[in-house]
Amino acid sequence: MKVVIVGGVAGGASAAARLRRLDENAEIILLERGAYISFANCGLPYYVGGAITKKSALTLQTPESFRTRFGIDVRVNSEVTAVHPAEKTVEVRTADGTYTESYDKLILSPGAEPVQPPLPGLPNGRVFTLRTIPDAVRIRDYVDEEFPDSAVVIGGGYIGVEMAENLKQSGVETTIVELSDHLIAPLDFDMACEVHQYARSQGLNLVLKNGVKAVEEGAGGKLTVKLNEGEIETDMVILSVGVRPDTALAKAAGLACSPRGAILVDSRMHTSDENIYAVGDAVQITDFVTKQPGYVPLAGPANKQGRIAADNICGFPSEYKGTQGSSVLKLFDMTIAMTGLNERAAQAAGLDYDKMYTYNQSHASYYPGGHGISMKVLYEKGTGRLLGAQLIGYDGVDKRCDVLATAIRANMTAFDLTELELCYAPPFGSAKDPVNYAGYAIENVLTGKVKTFHWHDVATLPRDGSVTLLDVRTPAERAAGAIDGFTGIPLDELRQHLDELDPSKPIYVHCQSGLRSYLACRILSGHGFDCYNLTGGYRFYSLVTKEQKAPDHPCYEI
C-alpha cells in the first residue's frame, strides 16, 4: 500500500506516524510545502514573546528524525499543486521542478491559512501574520532588531490575544483592534467582560467594535492604522482576523466542500472520494453537542483525526465523534477556558437552554493562594443536559473545564455534576468542588427550589413598586456599589424584617455572587414569597454593565 499525505503538521504527522505503527510495510510519503514538519504552531506566540527561547524547540520532529524513526519518505519544500482522483496521482512542485506521484490512499492535511483582508496598504513589511515558524521568526527578529515601541494586533481571537500578551511581555505597547464587541469569539460577551478588564489592567489597549479600513505609511516612520472610527499610529501590525480552510487544492480536485470551503468528511475522515481522507483544520466537523456541521480548527481534534484516518486506511474501524471546541488560553496570569456551546451556538441550534453563573474559590478559602473561578454553564431546560461551559480565573480553571469537557463527552446532566467525586485537599480544591457547586445551583433551578433572573434582566425589572427589589448584602458592600432601585436588607437580618415585605409581590433578590441571595430566596419561599435570584450576583452584573457602558469606539493614541 502506498499512502501519500499532503501536509506535515498536526493531523498529517499524526496520520503518518500511526500508519507506520499499523503497517510496517506501507510506503508512506509525507509532502510538506514548508521547510518544517510536525512543528509546534500553538507555541509560535511564545517564541515571539521569548518564553520559548530556541527555534529548535518548535520542531517536534525533523524530516530526518521522522524518516529514521518511522521509515517515512518525508519531502519538505514540496507543494502539492493538484490532485487527480481518477488517476490517483498528485502533482508536486519543488525548487527543482514538478513531478507526479501516485497513491493508493491520499490523506489531505493542508490546514488553514490566515485570512488576509484586502486592505489598502497591504502587503507591508511591518504587517505580519503568524501561522508558520518563518512567520514567528520574522516577528521576533523584527522585535529584537527594530525595537518597536508599539504594535497593533488586528483581531482578538486566540492568536491575537496570545500575540498581544507576548508582544507586551517583550516591552511593546500593544493595542488589540476587534470588530465585534468582545475578545475570544467562542466566549459570550458577558464572560469576555472580565477578560477585557483584566487585559486593560495588564496594560493592553483594547479597541472593540471597530474595524480596520487601511494600513498606511504614516509620519515619523510610523504606520497609521485607519479604523472605521479613528486611527492608531504604530510601529508594527499583526493581522490575526481568523483562519479559513486551505482547500483550494481539494476544491480543484472536485472533493465535496462546505459553503465555507471546508472539506466534507464522514466519521471515518473519508472525503467524497473513496481513496482520499482529510483531517485537521481543513475539514468540516460535526459539533459533538448539537450534531450539526461546523468548523472548529483546533490542534487536539486535528491530531485525533489524523490517527483515525490512519486506522481506517489500515482496516481498523475508528470513528471521530465530533468536536466540542474545548480550548484554553493563558493571558498573563489569567486562564480562560471553554468547552461545548456558547449562547449563540445554543440559540442557533434551537435549543431550549438556560444558564448558571457561579463564582467559587479555586481551592479551600482558608488555604492561601486561592482565586475566584467565574463559571458559566449552559444546560438544557427540563433534562439538565450539559451544553457548554465558559470559565475565567487563574489556577484551577483548566482543571474544571476539563472535568466539564469530560462530563459533556459523557452526555452528563447537571444532576450528574452534583455527584462527581473529585480529588480534594485544601491546596487543590474544596470538599464541594466548584464543579459540584455549579451542579447544585442548576439542580436547585431544575427541581424548582429557586427561580433565577440574569444580569440582562435587571434593566427591565419594573421600578414602579409592582415588584420588590432586594439586595441582601451588607451595608458596607452596598456602599461600594449597588443597583438602582434595590432595597438593602442584609441576609442575616432578613428573618427579622419579613413583615416589611409585601407577600403579594414578586421579590427579585441579589447579593454579591449569588449564594446569599439563594439563601434569602429559600427563606422567602419558606414564608410564601414568589422569589427570584440574580445569577452571578452584583459582582457579575457590575462587571458586565460597566463594560457595556464603555465607549462604543474607544481609540487610544499610543
Q: Which of residues 156-175 bind its own copies (CB under 8 A)?
A: 158
Instruction: Count other Cβ atoms within 10 Å, centred on residue 177.
Output: 25
Q: Which positions ≥6 away from 16 have C-beta within 8 Å?
A: 5, 8, 28, 30, 66, 70, 72, 306, 310
In single-letter form, the type of residue at position 308 comes to I
Q: Please count the residues of this chain forming the interface with its own copies, following the rule CB under 8 A.
A: 89
What's the alpha-carbon Rg for the chain, to the nearest Å? 27
Between 116 and 383, whose beta carbon lies closer to its own copies?
383
Known catalytic membership, residue 42: yes
Q: Which of residues 453-482 bind its own copies (CB under 8 A)?
A: none
Between 46 and 508, whose beta carbon lies closer to its own copies?
46
Give the nearest distance from C-beta 429 to its own copies in angstroms. Answer: 7
C-alpha cell at 300: 487536539
The window from 41-49, 80-88, 98-106, 223-231 that contacts its own copies (CB under 8 A) reads 41-49
Give the nearest distance from C-beta 200 to its own copies in angstroms. Answer: 22
Q: Which positions ≥6 away from 551 have C-beta within 8 Å?
A: none
C-alpha cell at 19: 500508519
Between 133 and 227, whose beta carbon lies closer to its own copies?
133
Of the candidate residues 328, 349, 550, 558, the single one contacting its own copies (CB under 8 A): 328
In single-letter form, the type of residue at position 176 comes to I
The window from 44-52, 170-178, 258-266, 506-514 that contacts its own copies (CB under 8 A) reads 44-52
Between 124 and 267, whose beta carbon lies closer to its own copies?
267
Question: Quick one: DSSP state of residue 394?
Answer: B
Between 332 and 453, whose beta carbon lies closer to its own copies?
332
CA distance 49 to 51: 6
Between 82 and 299, whose beta carbon lies closer to its own copies?
299
Going from the C-alpha of 465 to that of each of 226, 468, 481, 504, the distances in angstroms are: 49, 7, 22, 12
Label residue 533 left, alpha or beta by phi (over 0 means left) and psi (-120 to 50 means alpha). beta
**Cis ω for the linkage preceding 110 (within 30 of 0):** no
CA distance 292 to 196: 31
Pair 471, 511: CB distance under 8 Å: yes
Give the nearest distance from C-beta 411 to its own copies in angstroms. Answer: 8
Give the nearest distance from C-beta 290 to its own copies in angstroms. Answer: 15
Q: What spatial distance separates the first Cα and last Cα of the chain, rounded to whole Å? A: 59
Of the candidate residues 144, 492, 500, 502, the single one contacting its own copies (CB under 8 A): 492
Q: Which of residues 1-30 bind its own copies (CB under 8 A)?
A: 10, 20-25
Of the candidate residues 35, 51, 459, 479, the single one contacting its own copies (CB under 8 A): 51
Q: Which of residues 405-444 bind its own copies (CB under 8 A)?
A: 405-407, 409-410, 412, 416, 418-429, 431-433, 436, 440
Angle at 385 between CA 379 and CA 387, to 5 degrees: 50
Of the candidate residues 200, 251, 260, 321, the single one contacting its own copies (CB under 8 A): 321
Of the candidate residues 208, 298, 375, 377, the single one contacting its own copies (CB under 8 A): 298
Give the nearest distance from C-beta 189 to its own copies in angstroms. Answer: 21
CA distance 11 to 281: 8
Instruction: Count other Cβ atoms within 10 Å, centred on residue 395.
Output: 16
Give the nearest distance from C-beta 427 to its own copies in angstroms. Answer: 5
Q: Which of residues 76-135 bind its own copies (CB under 8 A)?
A: none
Q: Which of residues 255-294 bind its own copies (CB under 8 A)?
A: 288
Examine residue 68 and tell whether it contacts its own copies (CB under 8 A).
yes
Active-site positions read 42
